[in-house]
Chain A
Amino acid sequence: MSYIKKVLTKLIFVMPLLVSAAVFAESSDYNMSVGVTEVSKSIFELHMVIFWICVAIGVIVFSIMFWSLWKYRKSKGAVPADFDDNFWLEIGWTVAATLVLVWMAVPSTQVMVEAYDDAEGEINILITGHQWKWHYEYLEDEVGFFSNLSTSQEQIDGEVPKGEFYLREVDEPLVIPTNTRVRFLITGNDVIHSWWVPDFAVKQDAIPGFINTAWTNVPEPGIYRGACTELCGIKHAFMPVVVRVVEREEYDDFIAQKVTLAEAERLLTSKNWTKEELMERGEQFYNTNCAACHQANGAGIPPVFPALVGSQVVMSDSAKQIEILMEGVQGSAMAAFGDSYSEIDIAAVITYTRQAWSNGDNGDGVIVTPKDIVDYKNKIDL
């Protein structure tokens, strides 16, 4: 027993050393990422300063404590002294603690003022958190898109090996240019999310009804990965943030391409869509945006997420189904998709759910076209 005690006592002394050595390694597996922006670097330095101040205080206090425990143990015949107060000592350490805090507060305030700046950016991007994906909209160029997790369900379920960027990859990352002041306007569509990219030291809550701001200016091109950090429901862990930072020319190309695509999409709305075209597009949309709740086989997870297979609305009431997709269902997790997606996508997914599984055989099989959605929107606007 006493041998074990000796070993353990040693361990207690050695542990803080091991720990600080590990942290000192400054590897990002153990420590905060240094990041790539001015702000993230200042924050990292601040973090290390306060960390070392804490270590120093800890070393002093714990050495006195463990030394006292050792020196004044009764088994070595220690006799207790009988003092129980010392006014000046009390004043002394209170003042000392205050001074240390002021020492910490000064750089903290400086970094805070540096990080906090809500002036306009050269590029302004509206970031909207949805259950469970991010939507990015370039305000100057009026183009936008969703960014979904691209890790497959099979990887999550362990049916196939996990890739290098497991849970940190998306179908379409946010793209921003280097050396440009980019301002993010961050909001939430349903519940509160939080948009975090550690390498930029930007973490800002995405709150419905509010628009928060954050900014960054990234000097180095690269792919930066982050996460949603506010509990937002079942798929909280499955809506990563990925930002691709590129040189200015590449960025301009990217935006130009997006603008052309959006233009083409607008033209497509007026085209006559066949059932097969709608089905194909609808299935894809369904699997990315609906299957999380209603499941790929349409069975839902009752009672929270209703089944679409055999649903009265999906089988025989297309007007009602359009309304639900456009406006959402108050008081439930069913969001309004109308504002966020194109008429084509809405029409396609409605058509898909009315044909898929057994619904096509058992229901009325009505096909909803993008024009129906445009009509619905015009009716509402009147």
Chain B
Amino acid sequence: MSTVVETHDHGHHGPAKGLSRWLFTTNHKDIGTLYLWFSFIMLFTGGAMAMVIRAELFQPGLQIVQPEFFNQMTTNHGLIMVFGVIMPAFVGLANWMLPIQIGAPDMALPRLNNLSFWLLPMAFGILISTLFMPEGGPNFGWTFYAPLSTTYAPSTVNFFIFSVHVMGVSSILGSINIITTIFNMRAPGMTLMKMPLFVWSWLITAYLLIAVMPVLAGVVTMMLMDINFGTSFFNAAGGGDPVLFQHVFWFFGHPEVYIMILPAFGVVSHIIETFSRKPIFGYESMVYAMASIAILSFVVWAHHMFTVGMPLAGELFFMYSTMLIAIPTGVKVFNWVATMFRGSITFETPMLFSIAFVALFTIGGFSGLMLAIVPADFQYHDTYFVVAHFHYVLVPGALFGIIAATYYWLPKWTGNMYDETLGKLHFWLTFISVNITFFPMHFVGLAGMPRRYPDYALQFADFNAIISVGAFMFGLTQLLFLFIVIKTIRGGKQASPEVWEGAGELGLEWTLSSPAPYHSFSIPPQVK
């Protein structure tokens, strides 16, 4: 490189050329873009697996795949969606937006940032490669309960464990970076209570990640020992305890579900205030609500384990603590509604997705509340009712948050407006198909269809056919999303710096030109 005559002025390097730009980049915007594309590719990978699942379940009987492969599909679908789509997409948004929302030139630890990203393709390469090995990939569910995932697992479980370790390292490094950036790189004048809510949501999420990813690493390491080194952490025959696995897993697992929703809370708050043209209602209570959700999320884990045979006092404790979480969650919903109240509302695509978020996430919250009621959970647990619950909070919840964020900030990233008509079409198709897919799951669940079944009794046939049709519709619709994003990158109406009417007042990102320059806020702005 040193032989190249540098003609441009120093201090304002543009991106490197070709592949090396992406391999070696330390620029937060490039890394954000990498994360977002990675997540997009994984969305279609995990989505293809969901299509296999739904094709098999379209009718009773085994038509398309055998149970062995079906179990690999459900497992990998879950793992990929959780660790490969939702989490990386939020980290991508964080990379792009945190520095420019707090007026920093970049993330605090740019090289670490590059490493955190590139660990991910490695982790998922390993995970997905197991599907092509003779014994097949992981087939024990995304919750990988022992001893199905230890004594009874295919030997490829070792690859799975390694890949979870690598994902964990990536998440922990990413979180350290985010926390360091937020605490050290805010523009002068930006006190904590002036930070945008997306920044707050990520600060809290990053702490959750640092707290629980080591727990996940611990539990998979114990599995590794059980499988290869003769320990008996989870092996009853050797004096171990299979239920211990579940306690440790869910101690990670429940905070994990909030890791997947808090950043969406942040995004949606910005979008609702932008398109209601009215500042967010109850900023402080929004922050406190997120913090209390995060803290409470450490003491509710056993609500996933109501049927393992806990003592009565334990069942009641976890029921009450879980119900408590509904309070801060409810407060957030009330605040969003109060923000819309007496605003001046327009319905651009990001707003449509956010309104749908509020409505449908709330439905997921209701089913969550019902699941928290222990005696009722005896009937709901491990049926499609649970599947309906978590898909409502994760698809029209977390995923809608990500889609809304993409439409909201895409003009800032690319400098071009997306096609509003196509965006609205994408919204309506998605909204309709998501409900056709996931709403009937409540009914089949209540009627008694257990989850993770490749085949089912005849009385569930009608609903399953409807669900499958909805799922194919949903899957196809997301190709339209891909098309819209590519179309916007390639051209479109030039976006103004503030992009959305009045947004200039709302955050530092809207004071930058569109697209945001490769290096921004080299001189920190002053926040009043």
Contacts and interface: CB of A to CB of B under 8 A. Distances in A.
Nearest to A22: B443
B327 A104 contact: no
B323 interface: yes
Contact of B366 (A58, A115, A131): A58
B283 A74 contact: no
A162 B460 CA distance: 14
Interface in A93-109: 93-94, 97-98, 101, 104-105, 108-109
A85 interface: yes
Contact of A207 (B242, B278, B320, B363): B242
Interface stretch (B12-20, B198-206, B451-459): B451-459
A90 B27 CA distance: 41
A201 interface: yes
Contact of A50 (B369, B382, B458): B369
Given A30-B446, A229-B381, A303 B135 contact: yes
Most buried by B among A94, A114, A230: A230
Given A80-B343, A81-B343, A85-B282, A205 B379 contact: no
Contacts of A42: 375
Contact of A97 (B326, B381, B448, B459): B326
B447 to A, nearest CB: 5
A158 B151 contact: no
A19 B439 contact: yes
A46 B345 contact: no
A162 B458 contact: yes
A338 to B, nearest CB: 14
B261 interface: no
A168 B457 contact: yes
Interface stretch (B59-67, B92-100, B249-257, B398-406): B59-67
Interface string A56-74: 0110011011001100111
A97 B148 contact: no
Given A29-B459, A65-B359, A235-B67, A85 B281 contact: yes
A234 B70 CA distance: 9
Contact of A8 (B241, B428, B455): B428
B53 to A, nearest CB: 13
A235 B148 CA distance: 13
Contact of B379 (A43, A51, A64, A83): A43
Nearest to A51: B370
B363 A229 contact: no
Most buried by B among A158, A208, A213: A208
A191 B369 CA distance: 30
A54 B370 contact: yes
B375 A231 contact: no
Interface in A241-287: none
B345 A73 contact: yes
Given A15-B435, A194-B382, A331-B151, A80 B370 contact: no
B373 to A, nearest CB: 5
A112 interface: yes
Contacts of B134: 303
Nearest to B370: A50
Interface size class of B (residues with CB under 8 A): 35 or more
B333 A227 contact: no
A115 B283 CA distance: 43
B123 to A, nearest CB: 23
Nearest to B341: A68
B236 A209 contact: yes
A89 B376 CA distance: 32
Contacts of B369: 50, 54, 104
A108 B373 contact: yes
A57 B366 contact: yes
B337 interface: yes
Contacts of A68: 337, 340-343, 345
A69 B345 contact: yes
B362 interface: yes
Contacts of A72: 276, 340-345
A82 interface: yes
B342 A69 contact: no
Contacts of A69: 340, 345, 355
Given A31-B446, A231-B145, A64 B337 contact: yes
A226 B379 CA distance: 11
Contacts of A237: 67, 450, 453-456
A238 B452 CA distance: 12
A32 B312 contact: no
Given A84-B280, A196-B450, A75 B373 contact: no
B458 A164 contact: yes
B509 interface: no
B346 A108 contact: no
Most buried by A among B63, B320, B450, B455: B450
Nearest to A228: B450
A157 B456 contact: no
Contact of A111 (B63, B375, B450): B375
A82 B148 CA distance: 57
B503 to A, nearest CB: 13
A333 B312 contact: no
Interface string B270-314: 000000111111111100000000000000000000011100100
Most buried by B among A33, A115, A162, A237: A237
B358 interface: yes
A28 to B, nearest CB: 6
Contact of A234 (B68, B145, B374, B421): B68
Contacts of B183: none
Contacts of A1: 421, 424
A47 B370 contact: yes
A233 B151 CA distance: 12
B315 interface: yes
A278 B63 CA distance: 36
A51 B443 CA distance: 13
Minimum-distance CB pairs A-B, first 8: A209-B236, A212-B309, A237-B453, A229-B382, A54-B366, A81-B342, A84-B279, A80-B278
28 contacts: A29-B447, A30-B443, A32-B446, A50-B376, A61-B333, A61-B362, A65-B359, A68-B340, A74-B344, A97-B331, A104-B369, A108-B375, A116-B315, A156-B455, A191-B145, A194-B307, A198-B379, A201-B379, A209-B236, A209-B241, A213-B309, A234-B71, A236-B71, A236-B453, A237-B454, A304-B136, A330-B151, A332-B151
Given A42-B375, A83-B281, 10 more contacts: A8-B432, A32-B446, A50-B376, A69-B355, A167-B60, A226-B448, A230-B382, A237-B453, A303-B135, A333-B152
